[in-house]
Amino acid sequence: MLYFATWKVLLICAICALGVLLSLPNLFTPAQLAVLPQFIPHKQVALGLDLRGGSYLLLEVDVAAAERERLNSVTETVRNALRNAKIGYTGLNAEGNAIVFTIRDADRLEEARQLLAKTDSELTVEIRGDGAGTMKFGQVATETRRRQAVEQSIEIIRRRVDETGTKEPTIQREGQNRILVQLPGIDNPEHVKALLGRTAKLTFQMVDSSVTLEDARRGRLPPGTEILQAQEERGNRGGAAAYVVRKRVIVGGDTLTDAQATFQDNQPVVSFKFDGAGARRFGDATRENVGKPFAIVLDNKVISAPVIREPITGGSGIISGSFTVQSASDLALLLRAGALPAPITILEERTVGAQLGADSIQAGTLASIVAVVLVVVFMVLFYGLFGIFADVALFFNLCLMLAALSLLGATLTLPGIAGIALTIGMAVDANVLIYERIKEEVRSGRSMLSSLEAGFTRAFGTILDSHVTTLVAGILLYWLGSGPVKGFAVTLSIGVLTSLFSAILVTRLQIVTWVRQTKPKEIPL
């Protein structure tokens, strides 16, 4: 009981000192920390949406649209494969969740089936005896595509949010196809909603000049083409209201490596750069179509449709249109972050005011202070000097909790403050078990040193069991919960670990030091 190895004493003191040092930045404002030397820790506990204020958005990914887009792209591949093999067909189109077609030559049905099976290994090809055929994704492929669409959407949304400079956002999956977005400190939620809600799919496609817009609208639309509307601003300024555009994409926005808002002829524009593969495809397409117009399409609307005057081989270009400085900056941001794989709908929106967050902080802080004061007074009144030892250990416990939250970059929410208040009581609960056990040993006739040793040794099993079960509950809450529940689970789990350290080691070290220095005749309990 009275022996503590020197290295253990130094280690305990070092951990306590480190906890105090790392928790100190939370007492300063960011402005005050900015002027302090760099060797001083600067990490603070991040405040969640309910404490700092901001925006809460629940988004839904249209996974069916991602599947339809995939079918449309495969349709063009199927059309080219049948044409190259000179297999006659009619009615080739994507309908619902399948590609439908009819093979005209009954003698080549098996050849057509084998050919189409090679276009995409995930598609199942079925052709009946009358030539009518379908191509569908299997159940596994469909589920995989939908899961990938949501995961990719989360990553793209994270990039867009990071580009806006938002600190400590919460972006996580909810259910099968929903995404929860919490943006603390956002003062312009409408702007963020506009950025997150846009698909931002940029493509370069050729304009079909072989047919007029009027003829196309009368039903004379050539195969492999579609009518795309122009941006409203362009139509209002006297440009074409719509274009007949070939569905085949020359180059997609996924090959962009950079996009920046700039000026050309005193007008806001967006400059872009392709990667190697994109630059090569764009250069080949412009070389083969000099003198023809091509469309720059964003989210199925034509931004502009310039005529190719000469091959563009540099791998870079300019997107011009009816941009303002803000809209050009937003488009550049979206292009840098990447396009969403499917449209997104905002299902739920909440805004938490900064004043409400300040009130929550004040209420939570007051509750924690009251809890600490009551616990400190209780321990001193019931256990005297040993109660003071427990209160000192409680102080280091709180410092270690704040230090751990700061180092992990955890976000503190209102339920998280509740978790801290709960662990304050749990921290001294271990000391209560130890002290009561010591009392029992004294009453049974043991000596002072023997009672102290037995109190710590025999209470340790009970303390460990209670803390482990609480830790398991905290881990399950973090794993299965979301949002505020996770915040509570984080503070609770960290508090369980730090309270074990403080209640067992810090308190025991204080009692051992007191016994060695004062050599008391009895235990003041």
- List of E strands, 254-356: 256-264, 267-274, 294-298, 301-304, 316-319, 344-352
* pLDDT at residue number 235: 46
| Any domain includes 25 | yes
| Any domain includes 322 | yes
* pLDDT at residue number 396: 93
Of the ranges 4-18, 26-40, 419-433, 473-487, which is most confident? 4-18
What does the pLDDT average to over 497-510? 88
| pLDDT at 14 > cutoff 90 | yes
Angle subtended at Cα 485 by Cα 480 and Cα 489, rounded to the nearest 5 degrees: 85
Indicate the pLDDT class of residue 17, thresholds 50, 70 and 90.
very high
Give φ, ψ of 167 to 5 degrees. Answer: -100, 140
Q: Which two tokens stand for residue 60?
A: 């839904």
Of the ranges 232-241, 270-279, 320-329, which is most confident? 270-279
| Any domain includes 171 | no
Q: Could you tell me whether strands 170-174 and 178-184 are parallel, antiparallel, or unpaired per DSSP bridges?
A: antiparallel
* pLDDT at residue number 234: 46
Residues 361, 330: one domain? Answer: no
- The residue out of 96, 118, 142 marking a domain boundary is 142
| pLDDT at 498 > cutoff 80 | yes
Residues 45, 100: one domain? Answer: no
pLDDT tens string 375-408? 889 889 988 899 999 999 999 999 999 898 888 8
| pLDDT at 500 > cutoff 90 | no
Percent of the chain surpassing pLDDT 90: 5
DSSP helix/strand/coil, 166: coil
What does the pLDDT average to over 490-494? 88
Indicate the pLDDT class of residue 187, thresholds 50, 70 and 90.
low
- The residue out of 112, 142, 172 marking a domain boundary is 142
Indicate the pLDDT class of residue 523, thresholds 50, 70 and 90.
confident
| Any domain includes 523 | no
* pLDDT at residue number 16: 92
| Any domain includes 166 | no
Residues 431, 342: one domain? Answer: no
Least reliable range by pLDDT among 32-36, 88-92, 116-120: 32-36
Indicate the pLDDT class of residue 11, thresholds 50, 70 and 90.
very high
Residue range(s) defining the domain that contains residue 503? 6-53+353-518
What does the pLDDT average to over 455-480? 87
Least reliable range by pLDDT among 168-177, 357-366, 381-390, 471-480: 357-366
C-alpha distances (whole Å) from 342 to each of 152, 201, 297, 338, 345 are 9, 9, 16, 12, 10
What does the pLDDT average to over 490-505? 88
Indicate the pLDDT class of residue 232, thresholds 50, 70 and 90.
low
Residues 453, 416: one domain? Answer: yes
Q: What does the alpha-carbon distance between residue 494 and residue 499 come to, in Å, rounded to a whole number?
A: 9
| Any domain includes 362 | yes
Residue type, 20: V
| pLDDT at 233 > cutoff 60 | no
Residues 28, 126: one domain? Answer: no
Residues 239, 285: one domain? Answer: yes
Q: How many independent structural domains does the chain possess?
A: 3
CATH number of the domain enclosing 255? 3.30.1360.200
| pLDDT at 336 > cutoff 50 | yes
Q: Which two tokens stand for residue 397?
A: 């416990």
Residues 423, 472: one domain? Answer: yes
* pLDDT at residue number 369: 81
Between residues 119 and 394, which one has the greater pLDDT?
A: 394
What does the pLDDT average to over 10-25? 90
**Whether the predicted model's global pTM rises above the 0.75 cut:** no
**CA-based nearest residue to 61, from 132, 144, 153, 145:** 153
> Average model confidence (pLDDT) for the chain?
82
Least reliable range by pLDDT among 16-30, 87-101, 281-295, 476-490: 476-490
Percent of the chain surpassing pLDDT 70: 93
Residues 12, 125: one domain? Answer: no
Residues 393, 499: one domain? Answer: yes
| pLDDT at 429 > cutoff 50 | yes
Residues 214, 332: one domain? Answer: yes
What does the pLDDT average to over 123-129? 86
| pLDDT at 289 > cutoff 70 | yes
Q: What does the alpha-carbon distance between residue 458 and residue 437 come to, in Å, rounded to a whole number?
A: 8
Residues 265, 342: one domain? Answer: yes
Contact 90, 105 (CB under 8 A): no
Q: What does the alpha-carbon distance between residue 318 and residue 268 come to, in Å, rounded to a whole number?
A: 10
* pLDDT at residue number 167: 63
| Any domain includes 263 | yes
- The residue out of 350, 376, 408 marking a domain boundary is 350
| pLDDT at 411 > cutoff 80 | no
Residues 402, 323: one domain? Answer: no
Residue type, 38: Q
Q: Which residues of 216-237 are buried (b: 16+ CB within 10 A; e: fewer)?
A: beeeeeeeebbebebbeebeee
| Any domain includes 308 | yes
What does the pLDDT average to over 118-123? 80
Q: What does the alpha-carbon distance between residue 484 and residue 365 come to, in Å, rounded to a whole number?
A: 17
Contact 304, 346 (CB under 8 A): no
* pLDDT at residue number 389: 92
For residue 14, count CB atoms less than 10 angstroms from its CB and return exposed for 0-12, middle for 13-18, buried for 19 or more.
exposed
CATH number of the domain enclosing 111? 3.30.1240.20
CATH number of the domain enclosing 484? 1.20.1640.10
Q: Which residues of 255-279 are buried (b: 16+ CB within 10 A; e: fewer)?
A: bbeebebeeeeeebbbbbbbeeebb
